[in-house]
Amino acid sequence: MPVQVAHIYFVAFAVLFLVPLVWYGMNMAISALSAMVTTEFSSVFDNDAVSQADNLFTNVWIYMPILIALGALSWAIMRTLKEKKAGMMYG
């Protein structure tokens, strides 16, 4: 069982390390694409609903590494704290 716990936390910390690297690598391209789309179709983005949707997508992209980090850590904690009833049933 200790090896499984170490594996779970290794995966969680690998996700914590790799996601910001990938996000940082893609951030410039995503920001440029978003700016190009909003300037190219500026008449569409005058609508309040479309503007709010664009703002939501931008905020989700900005905070995505934090959301994934919280998800990975909560997954690791919940996975390691899972009850071991299946092992207890077999003796």
89 occurs within a structural domain: no
Among 17-26, 43-52, 74-83, which is the least confidently predicted range? Answer: 43-52
88 occurs within a structural domain: no
pTM: 0.71
Planar angle of CA 64, 65, 67, nearest 5 degrees: 60
Domain that holds residue 43: 2-81
How much is the average pLDDT of 62-84?
89
Half-sphere exposure of residue 7, counting CA atoms within 13 Å on the CB side? 5
Rounded CA separation 51/67 (Å): 23
19 occurs within a structural domain: yes
What tokens were used for 91?
Answer: 């003796």
86 occurs within a structural domain: no
Domain count, the chain: 1
53 occurs within a structural domain: yes
